[in-house]
Amino acid sequence: MTLDTLPPHTGGAEHLARLLAQALLAGRWQPGDAFPRELDIARHFAVSRNQVRNALATLTSAGLLERTAGRGTLVREMGDWHLLDPLMSKWMTGLVNIDPQLVRAIYAFRYSAEPMVAGLAAQAALPEDLERLETAFAGMEKTAASTDLRGEHAEYDVAFHDATYRATHNLVWRQMGHLLRPSIMALVWGSQDRTGTLDDSLSRHRQVLEAIRNRDISAAESAAHEVLRRTAIDLGIVS
Amino acid sequence: MTLDTLPPHTGGAEHLARLLAQALLAGRWQPGDAFPRELDIARHFAVSRNQVRNALATLTSAGLLERTAGRGTLVREMGDWHLLDPLMSKWMTGLVNIDPQLVRAIYAFRYSAEPMVAGLAAQAALPEDLERLETAFAGMEKTAASTDLRGEHAEYDVAFHDATYRATHNLVWRQMGHLLRPSIMALVWGSQDRTGTLDDSLSRHRQVLEAIRNRDISAAESAAHEVLRRTAIDLGIVS
DNA sequence: AGTTTATTAAATGTCTGACATTTCTACAAC
DNA sequence: GTTGTAGAAATGTCAGACATTTAATAAACT
Protein backbone atom coordinates (compact mmCIF):
# COMPACT_ATOMS: atom_id res chain seq x y z
CA MET A 1 0.00 0.00 0.00
CA THR A 2 1.33 3.37 -0.97
CA LEU A 3 0.07 6.89 -0.49
CA ASP A 4 -0.74 7.39 -4.13
CA THR A 5 -4.41 6.52 -3.95
CA LEU A 6 -5.24 8.81 -1.07
CA PRO A 7 -7.27 11.97 -1.64
CA PRO A 8 -5.46 15.30 -1.57
CA HIS A 9 -4.76 17.25 1.53
CA THR A 10 -6.14 20.74 1.94
CA GLY A 11 -4.74 21.96 5.23
CA GLY A 12 -4.41 21.29 8.92
CA ALA A 13 -2.64 18.55 10.80
CA GLU A 14 -6.02 17.44 12.04
CA HIS A 15 -7.17 16.91 8.51
CA LEU A 16 -4.09 14.90 7.67
CA ALA A 17 -4.66 12.73 10.72
CA ARG A 18 -8.22 12.02 9.68
CA LEU A 19 -7.14 11.18 6.18
CA LEU A 20 -4.58 8.65 7.30
CA ALA A 21 -6.82 7.28 10.04
CA GLN A 22 -9.64 6.62 7.63
CA ALA A 23 -7.30 4.85 5.27
CA LEU A 24 -6.22 2.65 8.17
CA LEU A 25 -9.79 2.04 9.33
CA ALA A 26 -10.74 1.00 5.84
CA GLY A 27 -8.08 -1.66 6.07
CA ARG A 28 -5.76 -0.33 3.40
CA TRP A 29 -2.77 -1.53 5.36
CA GLN A 30 -2.53 -4.95 6.92
CA PRO A 31 -1.65 -5.24 10.60
CA GLY A 32 2.07 -5.63 10.99
CA ASP A 33 2.77 -3.72 7.80
CA ALA A 34 5.27 -0.90 7.78
CA PHE A 35 3.71 2.52 7.53
CA PRO A 36 5.34 5.10 5.23
CA ARG A 37 8.19 7.14 6.64
CA GLU A 38 7.65 10.65 7.95
CA LEU A 39 9.58 12.31 5.19
CA ASP A 40 7.77 10.42 2.46
CA ILE A 41 4.41 11.45 3.88
CA ALA A 42 5.56 15.03 4.23
CA ARG A 43 6.79 15.12 0.66
CA HIS A 44 3.69 13.43 -0.72
CA PHE A 45 1.23 15.82 0.90
CA ALA A 46 3.54 18.82 0.69
CA VAL A 47 3.38 19.56 4.39
CA SER A 48 6.03 20.06 7.02
CA ARG A 49 7.49 17.18 8.93
CA ASN A 50 5.97 18.73 12.01
CA GLN A 51 2.43 18.26 10.81
CA VAL A 52 3.18 14.69 9.90
CA ARG A 53 4.62 14.03 13.33
CA ASN A 54 1.58 15.55 15.01
CA ALA A 55 -0.76 13.50 12.89
CA LEU A 56 1.16 10.31 13.54
CA ALA A 57 1.24 11.05 17.25
CA THR A 58 -2.52 11.29 17.18
CA LEU A 59 -2.88 8.00 15.37
CA THR A 60 -0.48 6.42 17.81
CA SER A 61 -2.51 7.62 20.78
CA ALA A 62 -5.55 5.99 19.21
CA GLY A 63 -3.75 2.67 19.04
CA LEU A 64 -3.66 2.56 15.27
CA LEU A 65 0.11 2.76 14.94
CA GLU A 66 3.16 1.77 16.89
CA ARG A 67 6.30 3.80 16.49
CA THR A 68 9.81 3.04 17.67
CA ALA A 69 12.93 5.04 17.09
CA GLY A 70 15.21 3.49 14.54
CA ARG A 71 12.78 0.86 13.39
CA GLY A 72 9.91 2.85 11.96
CA THR A 73 6.14 2.85 12.15
CA LEU A 74 4.06 -0.31 12.25
CA VAL A 75 0.34 -0.79 11.74
CA ARG A 76 -1.32 -2.38 14.75
CA GLU A 77 -4.03 -5.00 14.63
CA MET A 78 -7.69 -4.23 15.13
CA GLY A 79 -7.72 -5.72 18.60
CA ASP A 80 -5.39 -2.98 19.76
CA TRP A 81 -7.42 -0.08 18.42
CA HIS A 82 -8.90 2.23 21.02
CA LEU A 83 -12.45 1.92 19.80
CA LEU A 84 -13.75 4.06 22.63
CA ASP A 85 -11.54 7.02 21.88
CA PRO A 86 -13.80 9.85 20.73
CA LEU A 87 -11.41 10.55 17.89
CA MET A 88 -12.12 7.12 16.53
CA SER A 89 -15.82 7.87 16.47
CA LYS A 90 -15.16 11.05 14.53
CA TRP A 91 -13.04 9.23 12.02
CA MET A 92 -15.45 6.37 11.61
CA THR A 93 -18.39 8.68 11.17
CA GLY A 94 -18.99 9.27 7.52
CA LEU A 95 -16.61 6.54 6.50
CA VAL A 96 -18.44 4.44 3.99
CA ASN A 97 -16.26 1.38 3.89
CA ILE A 98 -16.01 0.41 7.52
CA ASP A 99 -14.86 -3.12 8.06
CA PRO A 100 -18.06 -5.17 8.53
CA GLN A 101 -16.36 -7.11 11.28
CA LEU A 102 -16.08 -3.89 13.22
CA VAL A 103 -19.72 -2.93 12.71
CA ARG A 104 -20.79 -6.33 13.92
CA ALA A 105 -18.53 -6.15 16.97
CA ILE A 106 -19.95 -2.80 17.97
CA TYR A 107 -23.46 -4.04 17.38
CA ALA A 108 -22.86 -7.15 19.44
CA PHE A 109 -21.61 -5.01 22.26
CA ARG A 110 -24.64 -2.76 22.12
CA TYR A 111 -26.93 -5.75 21.96
CA SER A 112 -25.52 -7.14 25.18
CA ALA A 113 -25.04 -3.87 27.02
CA GLU A 114 -27.76 -1.49 26.01
CA PRO A 115 -30.70 -3.23 27.69
CA MET A 116 -28.83 -2.99 30.95
CA VAL A 117 -27.99 0.63 30.22
CA ALA A 118 -31.64 1.37 29.70
CA GLY A 119 -32.43 -0.36 32.98
CA LEU A 120 -29.84 1.73 34.80
CA ALA A 121 -31.22 4.82 33.15
CA ALA A 122 -34.68 3.96 34.42
CA GLN A 123 -33.22 3.88 37.90
CA ALA A 124 -31.11 7.00 37.76
CA ALA A 125 -32.72 9.36 35.27
CA LEU A 126 -33.32 12.93 36.38
CA PRO A 127 -35.75 15.41 34.85
CA GLU A 128 -33.01 16.85 32.65
CA ASP A 129 -32.32 13.39 31.28
CA LEU A 130 -35.96 12.87 30.44
CA GLU A 131 -35.97 16.20 28.71
CA ARG A 132 -33.03 15.23 26.56
CA LEU A 133 -34.68 11.95 25.67
CA GLU A 134 -37.93 13.66 24.76
CA THR A 135 -36.24 16.28 22.65
CA ALA A 136 -34.32 13.64 20.75
CA PHE A 137 -37.39 11.52 20.26
CA ALA A 138 -39.41 14.47 19.01
CA GLY A 139 -36.66 15.15 16.50
CA MET A 140 -36.78 11.56 15.34
CA GLU A 141 -40.50 11.81 14.80
CA LYS A 142 -40.25 15.10 12.97
CA THR A 143 -37.63 13.83 10.53
CA ALA A 144 -39.08 10.40 9.92
CA ALA A 145 -41.29 11.37 7.01
CA SER A 146 -38.88 12.52 4.36
CA THR A 147 -36.05 10.44 2.99
CA ASP A 148 -33.70 13.34 2.44
CA LEU A 149 -33.80 14.12 6.14
CA ARG A 150 -32.39 10.78 7.06
CA GLY A 151 -29.02 12.27 7.94
CA GLU A 152 -30.72 14.56 10.42
CA HIS A 153 -32.85 11.68 11.62
CA ALA A 154 -29.74 9.69 12.38
CA GLU A 155 -28.40 12.58 14.46
CA TYR A 156 -31.51 12.54 16.61
CA ASP A 157 -31.19 8.78 16.85
CA VAL A 158 -27.66 9.16 18.14
CA ALA A 159 -28.82 11.83 20.57
CA PHE A 160 -31.54 9.54 21.90
CA HIS A 161 -29.20 6.67 22.66
CA ASP A 162 -26.53 8.98 23.99
CA ALA A 163 -29.07 10.47 26.35
CA THR A 164 -29.80 6.97 27.57
CA TYR A 165 -26.16 6.34 28.37
CA ARG A 166 -25.86 9.71 30.07
CA ALA A 167 -28.95 9.03 32.13
CA THR A 168 -27.13 6.22 33.92
CA HIS A 169 -25.11 8.96 35.62
CA ASN A 170 -22.11 6.69 35.51
CA LEU A 171 -18.86 8.08 34.15
CA VAL A 172 -17.86 4.86 32.44
CA TRP A 173 -21.13 4.07 30.74
CA ARG A 174 -21.28 7.63 29.57
CA GLN A 175 -18.03 7.15 27.68
CA MET A 176 -19.60 4.35 25.69
CA GLY A 177 -21.90 6.82 24.07
CA HIS A 178 -19.09 7.60 21.66
CA LEU A 179 -19.61 4.24 20.01
CA LEU A 180 -23.12 5.13 18.99
CA ARG A 181 -22.45 7.51 16.17
CA PRO A 182 -20.47 5.16 13.93
CA SER A 183 -22.84 2.34 14.70
CA ILE A 184 -25.93 4.32 13.80
CA MET A 185 -24.34 5.98 10.80
CA ALA A 186 -23.47 2.59 9.39
CA LEU A 187 -27.19 2.03 9.47
CA VAL A 188 -27.92 5.06 7.36
CA TRP A 189 -25.54 4.17 4.60
CA GLY A 190 -26.09 0.45 4.81
CA SER A 191 -29.84 0.13 4.44
CA GLN A 192 -31.75 1.42 1.47
CA ASP A 193 -35.28 0.24 1.94
CA ARG A 194 -36.50 2.22 4.93
CA THR A 195 -40.15 2.34 4.01
CA GLY A 196 -42.23 1.17 6.90
CA THR A 197 -39.28 0.25 9.04
CA LEU A 198 -39.09 3.73 10.49
CA ASP A 199 -42.53 3.55 12.03
CA ASP A 200 -41.58 0.34 13.73
CA SER A 201 -38.30 1.78 14.93
CA LEU A 202 -40.04 4.85 16.27
CA SER A 203 -42.58 2.95 18.27
CA ARG A 204 -39.88 0.83 19.83
CA HIS A 205 -37.93 3.90 20.81
CA ARG A 206 -41.07 5.39 22.31
CA GLN A 207 -41.44 2.37 24.55
CA VAL A 208 -37.93 2.84 25.86
CA LEU A 209 -38.69 6.45 26.64
CA GLU A 210 -41.92 5.58 28.40
CA ALA A 211 -40.30 2.84 30.45
CA ILE A 212 -37.54 5.15 31.63
CA ARG A 213 -40.05 7.83 32.48
CA ASN A 214 -42.06 5.31 34.51
CA ARG A 215 -38.91 4.06 36.22
CA ASP A 216 -39.84 0.57 35.10
CA ILE A 217 -36.50 -1.19 34.97
CA SER A 218 -37.46 -4.47 33.37
CA ALA A 219 -39.69 -2.75 30.83
CA ALA A 220 -36.81 -0.49 29.88
CA GLU A 221 -34.54 -3.49 29.47
CA SER A 222 -36.90 -5.37 27.20
CA ALA A 223 -37.84 -2.28 25.21
CA ALA A 224 -34.18 -1.53 24.56
CA HIS A 225 -33.78 -5.13 23.56
CA GLU A 226 -36.51 -4.67 20.99
CA VAL A 227 -34.89 -1.55 19.61
CA LEU A 228 -31.67 -3.44 19.14
CA ARG A 229 -33.43 -6.29 17.39
CA ARG A 230 -34.87 -3.78 14.96
CA THR A 231 -31.37 -2.40 14.44
CA ALA A 232 -30.02 -5.84 13.75
CA ILE A 233 -32.53 -6.30 10.99
CA ASP A 234 -31.67 -2.95 9.45
CA LEU A 235 -27.99 -3.69 9.62
CA GLY A 236 -28.54 -6.96 7.83
CA ILE A 237 -27.11 -8.96 10.71
CA VAL A 238 -30.27 -11.01 11.01
CA SER A 239 -33.21 -11.20 8.69
CA MET B 1 -2.47 25.42 42.28
CA THR B 2 1.12 25.90 41.24
CA LEU B 3 3.81 23.54 40.15
CA ASP B 4 5.86 23.99 43.27
CA THR B 5 4.58 20.99 45.13
CA LEU B 6 5.18 18.47 42.37
CA PRO B 7 7.97 15.92 42.63
CA PRO B 8 11.10 16.46 40.53
CA HIS B 9 11.45 15.32 36.99
CA THR B 10 14.18 12.90 36.04
CA GLY B 11 13.88 12.54 32.30
CA GLY B 12 11.62 11.71 29.38
CA ALA B 13 8.55 13.45 28.05
CA GLU B 14 6.61 10.36 29.01
CA HIS B 15 7.64 10.79 32.58
CA LEU B 16 6.61 14.42 32.56
CA ALA B 17 3.23 13.47 31.16
CA ARG B 18 2.67 10.94 33.90
CA LEU B 19 3.67 13.43 36.53
CA LEU B 20 1.23 16.05 35.36
CA ALA B 21 -1.50 13.52 34.69
CA GLN B 22 -1.31 12.10 38.17
CA ALA B 23 -1.49 15.57 39.64
CA LEU B 24 -4.63 16.14 37.60
CA LEU B 25 -6.12 12.78 38.53
CA ALA B 26 -5.53 13.52 42.17
CA GLY B 27 -7.66 16.58 41.74
CA ARG B 28 -4.99 19.21 42.34
CA TRP B 29 -6.61 21.49 39.81
CA GLN B 30 -10.29 22.19 39.68
CA PRO B 31 -12.15 21.71 36.41
CA GLY B 32 -12.22 24.95 34.50
CA ASP B 33 -9.00 26.13 36.06
CA ALA B 34 -6.23 27.48 33.89
CA PHE B 35 -3.29 25.14 33.57
CA PRO B 36 0.24 26.61 33.73
CA ARG B 37 1.69 28.00 30.54
CA GLU B 38 4.10 25.98 28.47
CA LEU B 39 7.06 28.17 29.20
CA ASP B 40 6.44 28.14 32.93
CA ILE B 41 6.28 24.36 32.96
CA ALA B 42 9.43 24.15 30.85
CA ARG B 43 11.30 26.48 33.15
CA HIS B 44 10.08 24.77 36.30
CA PHE B 45 11.14 21.30 35.25
CA ALA B 46 14.16 22.51 33.29
CA VAL B 47 13.09 20.79 30.08
CA SER B 48 12.61 22.03 26.55
CA ARG B 49 9.36 23.50 25.39
CA ASN B 50 9.15 20.54 23.04
CA GLN B 51 8.87 18.01 25.81
CA VAL B 52 6.24 20.11 27.49
CA ARG B 53 4.25 20.33 24.29
CA ASN B 54 4.45 16.58 23.78
CA ALA B 55 3.36 15.91 27.32
CA LEU B 56 0.48 18.33 27.07
CA ALA B 57 -0.57 16.83 23.75
CA THR B 58 -0.77 13.46 25.46
CA LEU B 59 -2.88 14.82 28.28
CA THR B 60 -5.11 16.54 25.78
CA SER B 61 -5.65 13.31 23.88
CA ALA B 62 -6.71 11.70 27.15
CA GLY B 63 -9.34 14.35 27.65
CA LEU B 64 -7.70 15.86 30.71
CA LEU B 65 -6.93 19.22 29.15
CA GLU B 66 -8.34 21.48 26.53
CA ARG B 67 -6.01 23.79 24.66
CA THR B 68 -6.84 26.67 22.36
CA ALA B 69 -4.45 29.02 20.68
CA GLY B 70 -4.41 32.43 22.24
CA ARG B 71 -6.44 31.49 25.25
CA GLY B 72 -4.35 28.89 27.01
CA THR B 73 -4.85 25.51 28.60
CA LEU B 74 -7.91 24.62 30.64
CA VAL B 75 -8.54 21.67 32.93
CA ARG B 76 -11.52 19.61 31.84
CA GLU B 77 -14.07 18.10 34.14
CA MET B 78 -14.07 14.48 35.15
CA GLY B 79 -16.98 13.65 32.89
CA ASP B 80 -14.83 14.41 29.87
CA TRP B 81 -11.90 12.22 30.85
CA HIS B 82 -11.24 9.26 28.60
CA LEU B 83 -11.38 6.70 31.36
CA LEU B 84 -10.97 3.86 28.90
CA ASP B 85 -7.76 5.13 27.40
CA PRO B 86 -5.02 2.67 28.35
CA LEU B 87 -2.81 5.59 29.28
CA MET B 88 -5.27 6.55 31.95
CA SER B 89 -5.02 3.08 33.45
CA LYS B 90 -1.27 3.37 33.56
CA TRP B 91 -1.44 6.72 35.26
CA MET B 92 -4.05 5.64 37.75
CA THR B 93 -2.18 2.48 38.64
CA GLY B 94 -0.05 3.09 41.65
CA LEU B 95 -1.66 6.41 42.35
CA VAL B 96 -2.57 6.38 46.01
CA ASN B 97 -4.96 9.27 46.17
CA ILE B 98 -7.47 8.49 43.47
CA ASP B 99 -10.66 10.42 43.80
CA PRO B 100 -13.07 8.11 45.64
CA GLN B 101 -15.84 9.22 43.34
CA LEU B 102 -13.88 7.75 40.46
CA VAL B 103 -13.25 4.45 42.21
CA ARG B 104 -16.94 4.16 42.97
CA ALA B 105 -17.92 4.97 39.41
CA ILE B 106 -15.63 2.29 38.04
CA TYR B 107 -16.88 -0.17 40.58
CA ALA B 108 -20.51 0.61 39.77
CA PHE B 109 -19.78 -0.01 36.13
CA ARG B 110 -18.13 -3.31 36.85
CA TYR B 111 -20.96 -4.32 39.13
CA SER B 112 -23.48 -3.81 36.39
CA ALA B 113 -21.44 -5.11 33.48
CA GLU B 114 -19.21 -7.87 34.71
CA PRO B 115 -21.90 -10.49 35.34
CA MET B 116 -22.96 -10.11 31.75
CA VAL B 117 -19.35 -10.27 30.64
CA ALA B 118 -18.92 -13.52 32.50
CA GLY B 119 -22.05 -14.84 30.83
CA LEU B 120 -20.76 -13.91 27.41
CA ALA B 121 -17.45 -15.51 28.27
CA ALA B 122 -19.23 -18.70 29.15
CA GLN B 123 -20.74 -18.67 25.69
CA ALA B 124 -17.67 -17.78 23.70
CA ALA B 125 -14.64 -19.03 25.61
CA LEU B 126 -12.11 -21.10 23.70
CA PRO B 127 -9.54 -23.47 25.19
CA GLU B 128 -6.91 -20.74 25.15
CA ASP B 129 -9.21 -18.53 27.20
CA LEU B 130 -9.74 -21.23 29.76
CA GLU B 131 -6.01 -21.69 29.96
CA ARG B 132 -5.50 -18.01 30.67
CA LEU B 133 -8.17 -18.10 33.35
CA GLU B 134 -6.66 -21.16 34.96
CA THR B 135 -3.15 -19.75 34.94
CA ALA B 136 -4.34 -16.54 36.54
CA PHE B 137 -6.37 -18.39 39.15
CA ALA B 138 -3.46 -20.65 40.01
CA GLY B 139 -1.35 -17.54 40.52
CA MET B 140 -3.96 -16.08 42.81
CA GLU B 141 -3.97 -19.23 44.89
CA LYS B 142 -0.21 -19.38 45.07
CA THR B 143 0.15 -15.79 46.28
CA ALA B 144 -2.76 -15.78 48.68
CA ALA B 145 -0.85 -16.98 51.71
CA SER B 146 1.72 -14.25 52.33
CA THR B 147 0.88 -10.62 52.88
CA ASP B 148 3.97 -9.29 51.16
CA LEU B 149 2.92 -10.97 47.93
CA ARG B 150 -0.26 -8.98 47.73
CA GLY B 151 1.08 -6.83 44.92
CA GLU B 152 1.72 -9.94 42.88
CA HIS B 153 -1.64 -11.33 43.94
CA ALA B 154 -3.34 -8.24 42.59
CA GLU B 155 -1.61 -8.73 39.25
CA TYR B 156 -3.03 -12.24 38.98
CA ASP B 157 -6.38 -10.84 40.00
CA VAL B 158 -6.22 -8.33 37.17
CA ALA B 159 -5.15 -11.07 34.79
CA PHE B 160 -8.12 -13.20 35.81
CA HIS B 161 -10.69 -10.52 35.13
CA ASP B 162 -8.96 -9.39 31.99
CA ALA B 163 -9.06 -12.96 30.72
CA THR B 164 -12.80 -12.92 31.33
CA TYR B 165 -13.26 -9.82 29.22
CA ARG B 166 -11.05 -11.25 26.49
CA ALA B 167 -13.01 -14.48 26.50
CA THR B 168 -16.07 -12.65 25.23
CA HIS B 169 -14.19 -12.37 21.93
CA ASN B 170 -15.73 -8.96 21.44
CA LEU B 171 -13.46 -6.07 20.52
CA VAL B 172 -15.36 -3.55 22.59
CA TRP B 173 -15.68 -5.55 25.77
CA ARG B 174 -12.04 -6.38 25.51
CA GLN B 175 -11.16 -2.70 25.70
CA MET B 176 -12.89 -2.46 29.03
CA GLY B 177 -10.26 -4.68 30.53
CA HIS B 178 -8.10 -1.60 30.90
CA LEU B 179 -10.34 -0.37 33.67
CA LEU B 180 -9.56 -3.35 35.82
CA ARG B 181 -6.08 -2.52 36.94
CA PRO B 182 -6.84 0.78 38.65
CA SER B 183 -9.97 -0.68 40.18
CA ILE B 184 -8.20 -3.69 41.62
CA MET B 185 -5.15 -1.74 42.68
CA ALA B 186 -7.34 0.62 44.66
CA LEU B 187 -8.36 -2.52 46.51
CA VAL B 188 -4.80 -3.35 47.46
CA TRP B 189 -3.99 0.03 48.93
CA GLY B 190 -7.42 0.65 50.37
CA SER B 191 -8.02 -2.41 52.50
CA GLN B 192 -5.77 -3.41 55.35
CA ASP B 193 -7.43 -6.32 57.04
CA ARG B 194 -7.28 -9.07 54.48
CA THR B 195 -7.21 -12.02 56.89
CA GLY B 196 -9.87 -14.49 55.94
CA THR B 197 -11.27 -12.39 53.14
CA LEU B 198 -8.85 -13.86 50.63
CA ASP B 199 -10.17 -17.38 51.07
CA ASP B 200 -13.65 -16.14 50.42
CA SER B 201 -12.54 -14.14 47.38
CA LEU B 202 -10.69 -17.13 45.99
CA SER B 203 -13.62 -19.49 46.25
CA ARG B 204 -15.86 -17.00 44.49
CA HIS B 205 -13.37 -16.63 41.69
CA ARG B 206 -13.16 -20.38 41.41
CA GLN B 207 -16.88 -20.56 40.85
CA VAL B 208 -16.64 -18.11 37.99
CA LEU B 209 -13.93 -20.19 36.40
CA GLU B 210 -15.92 -23.39 36.80
CA ALA B 211 -19.08 -21.85 35.38
CA ILE B 212 -17.25 -20.60 32.32
CA ARG B 213 -15.63 -23.96 31.84
CA ASN B 214 -19.02 -25.65 32.02
CA ARG B 215 -20.53 -23.12 29.64
CA ASP B 216 -23.17 -22.39 32.23
CA ILE B 217 -24.24 -18.86 31.43
CA SER B 218 -26.48 -18.08 34.35
CA ALA B 219 -24.08 -19.68 36.81
CA ALA B 220 -21.30 -17.52 35.43
CA GLU B 221 -23.44 -14.43 35.81
CA SER B 222 -24.33 -15.08 39.40
CA ALA B 223 -20.82 -16.17 40.32
CA ALA B 224 -19.40 -12.96 38.88
CA HIS B 225 -22.04 -11.10 40.79
CA GLU B 226 -20.78 -12.71 43.98
CA VAL B 227 -17.20 -11.78 43.23
CA LEU B 228 -18.23 -8.18 42.79
CA ARG B 229 -20.13 -8.18 46.06
CA ARG B 230 -17.00 -9.38 47.76
CA THR B 231 -15.09 -6.56 46.07
CA ALA B 232 -17.62 -4.01 47.24
CA ILE B 233 -17.05 -5.08 50.81
CA ASP B 234 -13.29 -4.86 50.44
CA LEU B 235 -13.55 -1.43 48.85
CA GLY B 236 -15.64 -0.23 51.73
CA ILE B 237 -18.55 0.62 49.48
CA VAL B 238 -20.89 -1.58 51.46
CA SER B 239 -20.35 -3.26 54.78
C1' DA C 1 33.45 -21.87 10.22
C1' DG C 2 31.42 -19.29 13.69
C1' DT C 3 31.15 -15.66 17.01
C1' DT C 4 32.02 -11.32 18.42
C1' DT C 5 32.87 -6.50 17.47
C1' DA C 6 33.04 -2.00 14.66
C1' DT C 7 30.95 0.56 11.11
C1' DT C 8 27.41 2.45 8.65
C1' DA C 9 22.74 3.65 7.15
C1' DA C 10 18.11 4.76 8.14
C1' DA C 11 14.55 5.73 10.75
C1' DT C 12 12.28 8.29 14.71
C1' DG C 13 13.19 11.60 18.67
C1' DT C 14 14.81 16.15 20.39
C1' DC C 15 16.42 20.87 20.64
C1' DT C 16 16.45 25.73 19.41
C1' DG C 17 14.99 30.05 17.75
C1' DA C 18 12.17 32.52 14.96
C1' DC C 19 7.75 33.45 13.31
C1' DA C 20 2.40 32.87 12.64
C1' DT C 21 -2.07 32.86 14.42
C1' DT C 22 -5.64 33.30 17.67
C1' DT C 23 -7.78 35.39 21.59
C1' DC C 24 -8.64 38.76 24.90
C1' DT C 25 -8.16 43.45 26.72
C1' DA C 26 -7.87 48.33 26.63
C1' DC C 27 -8.30 52.44 24.57
C1' DA C 28 -9.49 55.59 21.12
C1' DA C 29 -12.61 57.44 17.43
C1' DC C 30 -16.74 58.26 15.59
C1' DG D 1 -22.52 53.37 22.70
C1' DT D 2 -20.74 51.11 19.23
C1' DT D 3 -17.07 50.29 16.48
C1' DG D 4 -12.43 49.87 15.29
C1' DT D 5 -7.63 49.44 16.26
C1' DA D 6 -3.34 48.42 18.72
C1' DG D 7 -1.05 45.54 21.62
C1' DA D 8 0.02 41.73 24.78
C1' DA D 9 -0.05 36.96 25.70
C1' DA D 10 -0.82 32.57 24.87
C1' DT D 11 -0.61 28.35 21.72
C1' DG D 12 0.56 26.70 16.89
C1' DT D 13 3.90 26.11 13.11
C1' DC D 14 8.10 25.98 10.60
C1' DA D 15 12.98 24.83 9.36
C1' DG D 16 17.26 22.87 10.14
C1' DA D 17 20.58 20.76 12.75
C1' DC D 18 21.59 17.23 15.80
C1' DA D 19 20.82 12.93 19.03
C1' DT D 20 19.46 8.29 19.65
C1' DT D 21 17.91 3.87 18.56
C1' DT D 22 17.72 -0.05 15.57
C1' DA D 23 19.06 -3.19 12.09
C1' DA D 24 22.14 -4.70 8.74
C1' DT D 25 26.76 -5.27 7.11
C1' DA D 26 31.51 -5.95 7.21
C1' DA D 27 35.69 -6.86 9.72
C1' DA D 28 38.41 -9.16 13.17
C1' DC D 29 39.48 -12.74 16.08
C1' DT D 30 39.43 -17.20 17.97
CATH number, domain containing residue A34: 1.10.10.10
Query: Are A137 and A67 contained in the same domain?
Result: no
Pairing status of strand B65-68 against strand B34-35: unpaired
Domain boundary among the residues A80, A98, A122 is at A80
- Residue A19 has a CB neighbour count (10 Å cut-off) of 19
- Interface check for A174 against chain B (CB to CB < 8 A): the answer is yes
CB proximity A47–strand D (7 Å threshold): yes
- The backbone region for B32, taken as left when phi is positive above 0, alpha when psi lies in -120 to 50, beta otherwise, is left
For residue B67, say whether its CB is under 7 Å from any atom of strand D: yes
Confirm whether A134 is domain-assigned: yes
pTM: 0.89
Helix (H) or strand (E) holding B23: helix B13-25
Residue A54 CB in 7 A reach of strand D: yes
pLDDT, averaged per 10 consecutive residues of chain B (239 residues), comes to 51 85 93 95 95 97 96 95 94 84 92 97 98 97 87 93 97 93 81 71 96 98 96 81
* Separation of first and last alpha carbons in chain B: 36
Cβ–Cβ under 8 Å, residues A87 and A62 = yes
Contact indicator for B75, B32 with CB cutoff of 8 Å: yes
Run of H or E including B75: strand B72-75
In chain A the beta strands, taken as DSSP E runs, fall at 65-68, 72-75
Phi, psi (5° rounding) for residue B125?
-60, 140
For position B2, what pLDDT does the model report? 53
Q: Tell me if A172 and B57 make a contact (CB, 8 A cut-off).
A: no
Measured between CB atoms, does B24 come within 8 Å of chain A?
Answer: no
B2 in any annotated domain: no
CA B140 – CA B134 distance, rounded (Å): 10
Interface of A with B in 194-213 (CB under 8 A): none
Tell me, yes or no, if A41 comes closer than 8 A to chain B by beta carbon.
Answer: no
The reply to whether B152 and B58 lie within a common domain is: no
Domains: count for chain A: 2
Rounded to whole angstroms, the Cα distance separating B126 from B166 reads: 10
Residue A39, nucleotide of least CA–C1' distance = C11
Is residue A5 included in any domain, yes or no?
A: no
CB B183 within 8 Å of CB B110? yes
Weakly modelled stretches of chain A, pLDDT under 50: 3, 8-11
Identify the CATH number of the domain in which residue A204 sits: 1.20.120.530
Q: What is the pLDDT of residue A7?
A: 53
Q: Do B170 and A105 touch (CB under 8 A)?
A: yes
Among chain B residues 22-61, those with CB within 7 Å of any atom of strand D = 35, 37-39, 53, 56
Q: Do B112 and A105 touch (CB under 8 A)?
A: no
B99 and B204 together in one domain: yes
| pLDDT value of position B192 | 59
Chain B neighbors of A112, CB-CB under 8 A: 116, 120, 170, 173
Domain final residue pick, A80, A110, A134: A80
The answer to whether position B3 is within a domain reads no
Q: Based on the domain organization, do B100 and B199 belong to the same domain?
A: yes
- Is residue A137 domain-shared with residue A202, that is, in the same domain? yes
Residue A189 lies in a domain: yes
Q: Are residues A208 and A156 in the same domain?
A: yes
Q: Is the CB of A50 under 7 A from strand D?
A: yes
* Residues A24/A75, Cβ–Cβ less than 8 Å: yes
Phi, psi of A169 (to 5 degrees): 55, 35
Residue A142 lies in a domain: yes
User: Are A168 and A220 a contacting pair, CB within 8 Å?
Assistant: no
Same domain, A70 and A160: no
Burial string for B70-107 (b: 16+ CB within 10 Å, else e) reads eeebbbbebebbbbbbbbbbbbbeebeebeeebbbbbb
Q: How many CB pairs under 8 A join A and B?
A: 79
- Model pLDDT, residue A10: 44
Which residue among A85, A112, A179 places its CB closest to the CB of B85?
A85
> Does A116 share its domain with A211?
yes
The verdict on A93 and A200 lying in the same domain is yes
Say if residue B113 is in the same domain as residue B62: no
Search chain B and give the residue with CA nearest A84: B84
What DSSP letter does each residue of A107-150 carry, written as one string? HHHHHHHHHHHHHHHHHH--HHHHHHHHHHHHHHHHTSS-GGGH
**pLDDT given at position B205:** 97
Domain with B58, as residue range(s), is: 13-80
Nearest by CB to A172, which of B61, B85, B106? Answer: B106
* Within a domain: B8: no
Burial letters for B45-67: b for 16+ Cβ neighbours within 10 Å, e otherwise? bebeeebbbbbbbbbbbbbbbbe
Position A175 in a domain: yes
Say if residue B69 is in the same domain as residue B140.
no
Same domain for B222 and B151 = yes
Phi and psi dihedrals of A65, rounded to 5?
-125, 165
Q: Is there a contact between A61 and B63 if contact means CB atoms under 8 Å apart?
A: no
Residue of chain B whose Cα is closest to the Cα of A168: B109
Among B80, B114, B133, which residue terminates a domain?
B80
